[in-house]
A and B are shown apart, each in its own frame.
Chain A
Amino acid sequence: MTTVDEVVVEAPPPGGSAGPRRSIGARRRLVPYYLLSPGALFLLLFFLIPLGLMLYTSLESGGLLSGGFRFSWAFDNYTNVLGQYQVQFVRSIVYSIIVTIAALLLAYPMTYWIAFYGGKWKSSLLLLILVPFFVSFVIRTIQWKFILGDHGPILGPLKDIGLLPQGFRVLATPFAVVAGITYNFLPFTALPLYVALERIDKRLVEAAKDLYSSRWEAFRKVVWPLSLPGVFAAFLLTFVPATGDYVNATLLGGPGTTMIGNIIQEKFLVELDYPEAAALSVILMIVMLVLATIYARILGTEDVQRAAGAGA
């Protein structure tokens, strides 16, 4: 499957002047750059430069109470935060791994069925999955806080009839945080899986069955391997943002569930310690870059982009 078209440069017509034709060709070669330029400008200004400035800020020192920060090659910001926040880093990574695995397990059967057996309802079903996420995730997470409240609609009645001890709670536990993040990122997992599964030629499965493989074998040997790029894309699209999440830990968590995203957010907006906060962000960014580069080198960025595009 070709992914790009070649720009056709036409040879100058025989006997005619080479002028206009060649300039058309040259102009055509420039077309992509024209098309790209506004987007590239924006991405440069509002994506790349800020990230670079983050690097700059991370090497500053000083304090807001006394007037401001100054650039001073303060690499000790990095050593400080790495030493201080190891627990939160590790915890975030562990939570994200659990979230990603859970999301994959939850999303795979669903997307498999829709992709293979959805028929003409495919896009509608996909839409049904995505539609709840039109509502802001702040609101959705608050609703979960209601649903899972100690005396809320689920736990309350269960406690009243004695099925659960009075002290039992779901909120303010790591479970609630992980469950919340999993819920919020399910679409990011489902979409790449769906896209990958949908592209698998169904006739391959039929062929396998004709060769007397069991349905499980057909899955294991045909579908699963072909869906792996989607699985990896799902992994990346879920794991990376989940690591930096802080809203779920804030709304649903308790002591001992603080994630690195919470630390960054607190450092930026509460402690106002911009250099250390920036250092933490840079570290998070580097981890993400490493993972992304490895993935891109091995599998290419197409599946991820296709997945994000399928959501629209």
Chain B
Amino acid sequence: MSTVAAPAKSLPELGPAPLNRSRKRWTRFILPTYTIVMIVYLASPIFVMILYGFNDVPFDRQTAKFWGLTLDWWKNVFNVPGLYPAFKNSLKIAPIAAAFSTAIGTLFGLALGRYRFRGLKPVDFIIFLAIAVPEIVLGSSLLSMFVLAKVSTGYATIILSHIGFSIAFVAITVRARVQGLDRNLEDAAQDLFASPVSAFFKVTLPLIAPAILAGFLLAFVLSLDDFVITNFVAGPVLTFPLWVYGAQRIGVPPQVNVMGTLLFAAGILAAVASVLAQRRRSRA
């Protein structure tokens, strides 16, 4: 949605704007270099993680020292007792939580983005709070609730908690897209005798589909990576971040690096797919 700036024509007598060269230096060298440096800095732990997945450590725990390259850990990714089940748990929980929060959040976002209703402002504020609340407050309060309600913590509580905190994110993602939609399209469909429901499914839904997909991905990632809230409500169940946090107390096995690399690669693929899907949609 960037606006294309039409270059202003300068008065011929006065020539081009005086500080052209220094602007070029900033915008062509300094700032871009800075940005690249920042991007590399942000990704540096990832590079380390990927590299150390090949670290030929003589015993089973990761060290800071790099001993040499090996593919052992890639061959035996699922060997560490407890790690694979935890990884599986994360991969089981995330899609379920993401699916539900996407469904619920999409409806929520539609409502927020398109209708004015009584209670909009308080609902807005609550969504805002749900995004900004420190995870430790939410995690501990969820645990308090489960304890008071005598609900045993485990898979169900994890999934429910994940859905709880993802809904807001999905809702605002969808809402942002819905707000940008041209209402006339749906009205046009209705003028062509489509019922509101079929207008929704045939016109609106495809238009907001990228946002729904993006919301799903966001909820998926939030669930997969969540540590703090899951730590409070997981009970006997271990997810991948929980397992890693526990393992780092006596030493992380290199397989963790390998799994992290796999997740990262999957994340990149999903992000690229999402960007391409958005590009294709906006061209349509």
Contact = CB atoms under 8 A, between A and B. Distances in A.
A–B proximity contact (CB within 8 A): yes
A138 B245 contact: yes
Interface in A224-241: 236-237, 240-241
Nearest to B177: A309
B76 interface: no
A152 B64 contact: yes
A312 B217 contact: yes
Interface in B117-133: 117, 120, 123-133
A29 B119 CA distance: 13
B250 interface: no
A35 B271 CA distance: 28
Interface stretch (A13-21, A74-82, A284-292): A284-292
Nearest to B226: A136
Interface stretch (B67-75, B103-111, B201-209): B103-111
A274 B129 CA distance: 23
Nearest to A305: B172
Interface in A86-127: 106-107, 109-110, 112-114, 116-117, 122-125, 127
A132 B143 contact: no
B104 A54 contact: no
A247 B245 CA distance: 10
B282 to A, nearest CB: 10
A139 interface: yes
B137 A46 contact: no
Interface residues of B, number: 116
A4 B129 contact: no
A109 B34 CA distance: 8
Interface string B79-121: 0000000000000000000000001110110111111110010
A143 B45 contact: yes
A146 B104 contact: no
Contacts of A294: none
Interface string B167-207: 11101110111010001000000000000100000000000
Contacts of A134: 221, 225, 263-264, 267-268, 271
Contacts, number: 330
A73 interface: no
B144 A274 contact: yes
Nearest to B39: A128
B152 interface: no
A151 B65 CA distance: 8
Contact of B111 (A32, A50, A284): A32
A47 B164 contact: yes
A50 B104 contact: no
Contacts of B260: 135-136, 139
Interface residues of A, number: 115
A158 interface: no
A46 B164 contact: yes
A236 B129 CA distance: 11
Contact of B31 (A113, A123, A246): A113
Interface in A193-224: 198, 201-203, 205-207, 209-210, 212, 214-215
A57 B49 contact: no
A137 interface: yes
B132 A35 contact: no
A236 to B, nearest CB: 6
Given A131-B271, A151-B64, A142 B142 contact: no
A32 B148 contact: no
A249 B171 CA distance: 32
A186 B41 CA distance: 11
Contact of A5 (B2, B43, B114, B215): B114
A302 to B, nearest CB: 9
A278 interface: yes
Tell which of B35, B267, B272 has the most Cβ of chain A within 10 Å. Answer: B35
Nearest to A49: B145
B108 A309 contact: no
A301 B256 contact: no
B232 interface: yes
Contacts of B64: 146, 149, 151-153, 156
Contact of B244 (A51, A139, A209, A243): A139
Contacts of B264: 131-132, 134-135
B42 A54 contact: no
A214 B21 CA distance: 12
A243 B175 contact: no
A240 B134 contact: yes
A301 B27 contact: no
A207 B9 CA distance: 10
A54 B134 CA distance: 14
A146 B62 CA distance: 9
10 contacts: A39-B104, A43-B130, A53-B141, A135-B260, A136-B240, A146-B52, A215-B26, A261-B136, A308-B173, A309-B172
Closest 5 CB pairs of A and B: A244-B134, A46-B164, A134-B267, A39-B108, A312-B214
Interface of B: 1-3, 5-8, 10, 17-19, 22-23, 26-27, 31-32, 34-35, 38-39, 42-46, 48-49, 52, 62, 64-66, 103-105, 107-108, 110-117, 120, 123-138, 140-145, 147-148, 160-161, 163-165, 167-169, 171-173, 175-177, 179, 183, 196, 211, 214-215, 217-218, 221, 224-225, 227-228, 231-232, 240-241, 244-245, 248, 252, 256, 260, 263-264, 267-268, 271-272, 275, 278
